[in-house]
Chain A
Amino acid sequence: MIAFEHVTKRYGERLALDDVTWRMDEGECAVLLGHSAAGKTTMLRLIMHETQPTSGVVTVGTFRGGRLTRAHRALLRRTIGVIYEDFRLLPDRTVYENVALSMYIAGHYTDAEVTPKVRRALEEAGLDAHRDLLPAELSFGERQRCAIARAIVMRPALILADEPTGALEPKSAAEVLSLLLRIQREGAALLVGTTRAEVANVIGGRRYVLEEGALREVTPGASPVPAPSPPRAAAASGDAPMPQSPDLFTPPATGGA
């Protein structure tokens, strides 16, 4: 499904990825662990074709390497559900409209076809009751669940989540991860980029650590996260680790909001 072949990515002098060779199959679940600026987001951006590798080839489904045309990039992105740390919701649209946007972008759906699918995605995310609210009227956790509903409404084969719990307090984080796991169990491949080992513990699946641009697979239980990131960088980027809590990341019994 996704294959990196000797991929190197540089931003000027800084090396973000160094000769990374890696693959991920359909329905698989994987976590990219690494401190801030380790290259997790770069990998996700390469998969989304938001940036190009300095060298090497990235293949996603049938889209192989090279610089895709704008039309092909759009087509590729329609097959992927993406969840960002900062949600990227449209502030002047209701929750319903934000989720429906993915379906309108996919095209070929009438309003009558859009409504039941959006309502279903919102129910799965536990947000149907809030469908007429604007993002600003939601808590951070609800906003992230709205972003997840938007990502899953088209039932994509691949879901990318970039620090999905980064801005959330523990209870919301647990709910969001529970939701992502439920979707993955339905058959979608799930790739999560995070700085937190706790997230990787909850998600399970294959675990990779990014360090100094290099990617290596680690077994659960080993200490995966490399040397702690410099406090300055973590604080500046807002990626400071979430405080631990006894019930953190325990999926709620109801499995929803």
Chain B
Amino acid sequence: MHPYFWREAWRSFRAHRGLAMTSMLSLIASLTLCGLFVLLDHNARQALRAIGDRREMIVYLKDEIPETELAVLMDKVRQYFGEPTYVDRKQAWQELSDQIGDPDLLSGVEDNPLPASIRVRLKPELLGFAAMEQAAQQVLEFPEVEDVRYGAEYVRRLDRFSGGVRLATWAVGAVVALAMALVLFNTLRLTVLARRHQVEVMLRLGASDRFIATPYVYEAMMHMTLAAVISLLLVFALQQVVAYRLDGVTFLPWTTSLAFIGGALAVAWVASAGALSRILRNIGS
């Protein structure tokens, strides 16, 4: 990267301060909106992960399974589905008693009707609704298994919500990227038209389109970097306000923040390079 291009970009940035400010304000508004959705998605995912951690499959066993067969079943479940915890009938009764709290309510029950079970903390790849359903079907195939429960409807709704948030984030991201590309296109068009005489002279001196465009692309990157940093600061400020009132709302991890800036710069680069190629072609030969 020749310093000439940076000098030119800085010169243009200073020469067209008003245009630069207008462009950056538009970019900040777009990026802040996008940042808010990224923050929402991040916190929704965190919440879902916390809920997802509590997702488990309960495998009810038939009566009187020999210990050897139980051990084999536990091994298979561990191998294919997740971490199993065996709960015998007595333990299950005790847990029920603890949940109900009032021993008188259960005094009428003479024999323990509860079956022994295996609670399975599923592997991460089995936490989706479809995977859980398939896993449940497979577990039911074991001869020692009486029934399997995993809260199918709850899992389905959770998945749908999670997918909805993600889709909304992508949709907003796409709209914002388009808006940013339009802002950059118009800013660059106005900047280049303001310097049309310079561009024409450079073309006659043998400058390639790339040579002419590079400083403007750098300038667009400068606009975008500043706008992305400022919008992240705004999103951070908002997160702080919300976190003051609502526990558990966290800011984006630094990797996501860097990816946010990187994504914005990528949009700036593609949009400005594409726009300039079109604008320069219109200026002529």
Binding site for B on A (CB under 8 A): 48-50, 70-71, 73-80, 82, 88-92, 101-102, 104-107, 110-111, 150
Please list the residues of chain B having a beta carbon within 8 angstroms of any beta carbon in chain A.
2-4, 11, 15, 197-198, 201-209, 211, 281, 285
Across the interface, B206 reaches (CB within 8 A) one of A75, A88, A91, A92, namely A75
The chain B residue sitting closest to A156, CB to CB, is B206
Residues of B within 8 A of A74 (CB): 203, 206-209, 211
Taking a contact as CB atoms under 8 Å apart, the answer to whether A111 and B3 are in contact is yes
Instruction: Verify A104–B4 contact, CB threshold 8 A.
Output: yes
Which of A73, A88, A92, A105 contacts B285 (CB under 8 A)? A73
In the assembled complex, the CB of A197 is this many whole angstroms from the nearest CB of chain B, namely: 28
| Assembly CA distance A27 to B281 (angstroms) | 34
Assembled-state Cα–Cα distance A110/B281 (Å): 28
Task: Provide the residues of chain A in CB contact with B11, threshold 8 Å.
Answer: 92
* Chain B residue at smallest Cβ distance from A70: B209
B206 and A76: CB pair below 8 A?
Answer: yes
Instruction: Decide if B198 touches A50 in the complex (CB within 8 Å).
Output: no
Q: What are the 6 A-B residue pairs with the smallest beta carbon separation, nearest first?
A: A77-B206, A78-B206, A74-B208, A105-B207, A104-B4, A88-B201
- Contact partner of B201 among A71, A80, A90, CB < 8 A? A90
Tell me the complex Cα distance, A101–B4, Å.
9
Known contacts A74-B206, A90-B198, A150-B205; 15 additional CB pairs below 8 A are A48-B204, A50-B204, A70-B209, A71-B209, A74-B208, A77-B205, A77-B206, A78-B205, A82-B205, A89-B201, A90-B201, A101-B205, A102-B205, A106-B206, A111-B4
> In whole Å, how far is A75's beta carbon from the nearest beta carbon of chain B?
7
User: Are A49 and B285 touching (Cβ within 8 A)?
Assistant: yes
Known contacts A50-B285, A92-B15, A111-B3; A105/B198 CB under 8 A:
no
User: Given the complex, which residues of B lie within 8 Å of A150, measured CB to CB?
Assistant: 205
Of all chain B residues, which has the CB nearest A51? B285
CB atoms of A77 and B209 under 8 A apart: no
Given contact pairs A49-B285, A70-B285, A107 touches B202 in the complex (Cβ within 8 A):
no
Say yes or no: A105-B211 contact (C-beta < 8 A), given A70-B285, A92-B15, A111-B3. Answer: yes
Instruction: Report the nearest A residue to B8, measured CB to CB.
Output: A104
Q: Are B204 and A77 in contact (CB under 8 A)?
A: yes
Q: Which residues of B have CB within 8 Å of A89?
A: 201
Bound CA–CA A113/B94 (angstroms): 87
Give the nearest-CB partner of A75 in chain B: B206
Distance in angstroms between the alpha carbons of A73 and B4 in the assembled complex: 23
In the complex formed, the residue of B with least CB distance to A92 is B15
Q: Do the beta carbons of B4 and A88 come within 8 Å of each other?
A: no
Instruction: Indicate which residue in A75, A80, A105, A106 contacts B202 across the interface (CB closer than 8 Å).
Output: A105
- Measured CB to CB, the nearest residue on chain B to A102 is B205
* Minimum distance in angstroms from B38 CB to a CB of chain A: 40
Q: What is the bound-complex CA distance between A111 and B3, given in angstroms?
A: 8
Interface centre among A48, A77, A80, A82 (most CB of B within 10 A): A77
Q: Which residue of B lies closest to A91 (CB)?
A: B197
Closest to A114 in B: B4
Complex formed: what's the CA distance from A107 to B204 in Å?
Answer: 15
Enumerate chain A residues within 8 angstroms of B2, measured Cβ to Cβ. Answer: 104, 110
Which residues of chain B have C-beta atoms less than 8 A from A106's C-beta?
Answer: 206
Residues of B with C-beta under 8 A to A78:
205-206
A118 smallest CB distance to B (angstroms): 13
Q: Which residue of B lies closest to A80 (CB)?
A: B206
B3 — which chain A residues lie within 8 A by C-beta?
A: 111
Report the Cα distance A92→B12, complex, angstroms: 11
When C-beta atoms are compared, the residue in chain A nearest to B209 turns out to be: A70
Listed A/B pairs (22) with beta-carbon separation below 8 Å: A48-B204, A70-B208, A70-B209, A70-B285, A74-B206, A74-B207, A74-B209, A77-B203, A77-B204, A77-B205, A77-B206, A82-B204, A88-B201, A90-B197, A104-B2, A104-B4, A104-B211, A105-B205, A105-B207, A105-B211, A111-B3, A111-B4
The chain B residue sitting closest to A151, CB to CB, is B205
Q: Which residues of A contact B211 (CB under 8 A)?
A: 74, 104-105, 107
A147, chain B: closest CB distance, angstroms: 10
Of all chain B residues, the one with the shortest Cβ separation from A48 is: B204
